[in-house]
Chain A
Amino acid sequence: MSDLLKVTIDGKSIEVPPGTTIMQAARQLGGKYPPAMCYYEPLKNTGGKCRVCLVKVAQTSEANPRPMPKLVASCITRVEHGMVVENETSPEVLDARNGVVEFLLINHPLDCPVCDQAGECDLQNLSYEHGHEQTRYEEGRREFERIDIGPYVQLHMTRCILCYRCVYAADQLTGQRVHGVLNRGDVSEIGTYIQQSIENEFSGNIIDVCPVGALTDKTYRFKQRVWFSKPFDAHRDCDKCCGKVVLWMKGDAIIRVTARKNEFGEVTDFICNDCRFEHKQASDWSIEGPRDIIPESVIGANKYELPVVSPAVNVDAKFVSE
């Protein structure tokens, strides 16, 4: 008997090792997997908070064919042998997801036209797919006092959906976490409590893990809409991190450096602040080639030209020959 567990999601079956969550199984299956706003696979303990990944378990396991009484968060629920899960095929799930997206949006400022995250925002994608066209919310939206968290990261608390990803990122990537969630309920906010700036070598990663425009790159503010910039894979020798990054170019100028993300929008290798903020010259990097962007993204392909090759720019021989 194999140790693999068989799970069926929306009619498609897959065998996965024990300990796999429904979300992981669904991602392996491909097709429509549940969305995630708070779950972030590279960070431990994330998940369970945003509730957009709710799915229906129609059959708990082979031994226990009863359905689970409530919708469950697919990112934290582990699969059992013979589990049957309904994601996109269940109207109940879609209705719940609609509701959660509505909740996430009622206090969101919807200032996408001036938000740097627009175009690569998980909340935008999510509401495009599951949101209502019109809001039913007539009350005032919540506002916060602005706080400055240092020279690199811009905090827009009004846009935050309290996914806690940046808290876990600071816990797990940096030596000491200096920010966290203050207060309670719908007035809870990300803050540093005594208004100190977030400064350490990996603090820039909180920008990459943020699913919305709450934490954005101060050095990139208002430089360019993301879909007009051109992403290139590049690397450099860095003694602090892997040095593998994505350069976002405007003409020949590097206007932003981010970590590389996989198809699920999750960072594959976290990078240090040195690479992210301090190396904006093309001569600092070895460019590997255009970055593959998933076809659904507005940051589409088909707009690449070779960067102007000057002696100062190290372009990989492979890329030039192509």
Chain B
Amino acid sequence: MATKILLENLAVEGIRAIDTYMANGGYRAVSKALKEMSPDQLVEEVKASGLRGRGGAGFPTGMKWSFLDKKSDKPRYLVCNADESEPGTFKDRYLMERIPHLLIEGMITASYALGANTSYIYVRGEMMSVIRLLERAIAEAYAKGFLGKNILGSGYDLELYVQPGGGAYICGEETALLESLEGKRGNPRNKPPFPAVSGLYGCPTVINNVETIASVPWIVNNGGAAYASIGLGKSTGTKLISACGNIRQPGVYEIELGLPVEEFIYSDAYCGGIAEGRELKAVVPGGSSVPILPKELILKTAAGEPRLMSYESLADGGFVSGSMLGSGGFIVFDERACIVRNLWNFTRFYHHESCGQCSPCREGTGWMEKVLHRIEHGHGKMSDIDLLVDVAKHIEGKTICPLGDAAAWPVGSAIRHFRDEFEAHVKHPDSCLAKHLHGAYAHAVPIMEP
């Protein structure tokens, strides 16, 4: 059985309550960190663990923490990014719903490491149930003395707040999140300055994903070297993968990084294969924004090596024949799936969620959506396909924040790997349209019964 770090106690009944959580070894990391370790030692442990940001970019967490401007006399903040809204990604929500105290424990230890006395958990506004659970868990932690003034007699103070967002995807971008937290319009900021120097209210700030912070207690308890021994190469530790699409067992799985993709899809311990005995067609391995890969490239790299679930292996081949681990939103398409319709759906999402601050993303996402809508609904032209590639190219890397890239990558990759399907839509619009109206897909607008 693979090592479980985050979901170890998932099956324990009543793990949401602080007493059960403590009876199963919870909050040991808080007392160990506050009583036995200095903040710098903690940062060193996290550096040694090789833990990488689980929100999508995969930036080494220890390095991010060491960038924090500790010389300034301004207060420091830790902000947990729980604005999980990427289509296909639902791991943070799962973790917070099942084991809320794991995140609280991580927040306390990480805040201590960074010297933050006020910390925030910014939760996506739609997840009201999670917000209530976290607030109850925080109240319990205050009652036990894990939060507030002079925690466990160590002299360290921490106030922890839950802040509901307004439900905007863009507020998952770290600087937009800070703007939103400050009560402003959620527009990403120009960088530099980076949040580590000037973040929340102009003070040094670290923003980490839920899963990243939830991994910290285990590292405190077992040491960074133990964490680094799990996984493969620079992809250390475990990762939550939210598997969805046409598979037999959708859900959230904790895997050791380095697991072969083939095993993840077909093993009964994970996805259990494709539903109804169908054939695999394509996979989006890291949430809707990463490039889609066809069957032959997701199971094996272009060089013929088996593709593994790790930051490096999934990125092997760059964007020509590779993709990204991203946030771990593993979306599987079977042979029936229409790549064009799926791409239109993704693009519609990015069009809707663009903040409208910088021109390429504001105008380009809408343009791509309209062209794809046309192709999907039988009014496409051959020139539209190259137009889409060109528009995507003009968005990618030209925007303030990564949303522009996230909108452009799926378009570029879908056309690169499935150009024939786009051409089929242009050449035979009727048959493609008929397939969707009477086949696999639900109607966007329900048709009334006569």
A interface, CB within 8 angstroms of B: 47-52, 54, 70-71, 73, 76, 95-96, 98-100, 102-104, 106-107, 136-137, 139-140, 161-162, 164, 180-181, 183-188
Q: Could you list some 11 contacts between A and B, CB below 8 A?
A: A70-B398, A96-B394, A103-B363, A107-B366, A136-B387, A139-B374, A162-B356, A162-B362, A184-B356, A185-B355, A185-B366
A164 partner residues in chain B, CB cutoff 8 A: 357
- In the assembled complex, which residues on chain B have CB atoms less than 8 Å from the CB atom of A70? 397-398
User: Most chain-B Cβ atoms within 10 A of its Cβ — which of A47, A48, A52, A140?
Assistant: A48
**Residue contact A50 to B351, C-beta cutoff 8 Å:** no
In the complex, A137 Cα to B358 Cα: how many Å? 19
Q: Which of A73, A99, A180, A183 has the most CB of B within 10 A?
A: A99
Given known A49-B400, A51-B398, A181-B185, contact A104–B359 (CB-CB < 8 A): yes
Main SS of the interface on chain B? helix
Q: Is the CB of B370 within 8 A of A49?
A: no
A245 to B139, CA, bound (A): 62
Contact of B353 with A185 in the complex, beta carbons under 8 Å: yes
Q: Are A50 and B355 in contact (CB under 8 A)?
A: no
A140 to B367, CA, bound (A): 10
Contact of B190 with A139 in the complex, beta carbons under 8 Å: no
Given A49-B358, A71-B397, A162-B362, A185-B351 contact (CB < 8 Å): yes
Residue numbers in B under 8 Å from A161 (CB-CB) = 359
Q: Which residue of B lies closest to A96 (CB)?
A: B398
A interface, over-half SS: loop
Residues of B near A102 (CB, < 8 A) are 394
The docked-state distance in angstroms from the alpha carbon of A162 to that of B370 is: 21
A103-B360, A104-B363, A185-B353 as given contacts; A48 in contact with B400, CB under 8 Å: yes
B354 interfacial contact with A, CB 8 Å: yes
Residue of B nearest to A77 (CB): B192
User: Is there an interface contact between A99 and B360, defined as CB atoms closer than 8 Å?
Assistant: yes
Asked if B168 is at the interface (CB within 8 A of a chain A CB), the reply is: yes
Q: How far is the CA of A52 from the CA of B357 in the complex (A)?
A: 13
Q: What are the residues of chain A within 8 A of B353 when measuring CB–CB?
A: 184-185
Interfacial residues, chain B to chain A (CB-CB below 8 A): 168, 170, 185, 190, 351-360, 362-367, 370-371, 374, 387, 391, 393-395, 397-400
**A184 lies within 8 A of B168 (CB):** yes
Question: In the complex, what residue of chain A is closest to B393 when comparing beta carbons?
Answer: A99
Task: State how many angstroms separate the Cβ of A38 from the closest Cβ of chain B.
Answer: 9
If A95-B394, A184-B356 are given as contacts, then 7 extra A-B residue pairs at C-beta distance below 8 Å, sorted by A number, are A49-B359, A100-B394, A161-B359, A162-B357, A181-B356, A185-B356, A188-B356
Q: Nearest residue in B to A142 (C-beta to C-beta)?
A: B366
A185 and B352 CA atoms in complex are apart in Å by 7
B359 touches A185 (CB 8 A): no
The reply to whether B394 and A185 contact each other, CB–CB distance below 8 Å, is: no
Is B365 within 8 A of A186, CB to CB? Answer: yes
Instruction: Assess the A185–B400 pair: CB atoms within 8 A.
Output: no
CB < 8 Å neighbour of B398 from A71, A104, A106, A180: A71
Give the shortest distance, in Å, between A192 (CB) and chain B (any CB). 15
Which residue of chain B has its CB nearest to the CB of A164?
B357
Q: Which of B360, B363, B391 neighbours the largest number of chain A CB atoms within 10 Å of its CB?
A: B363
Selected from B355, B359, B360, B367, the residue in CB contact (under 8 A) with A137 is B367
Cβ A185 vs Cβ B190 within 8 A? no
Contacts of B170 in A (CB 8 A): 184
The chain B residue sitting closest to A98, CB to CB, is B394
Complex Cα distance, B398 from A48, in Å, reads 11
Instruction: Report the Cα distance A98→B170, complex, angstroms.
Output: 26
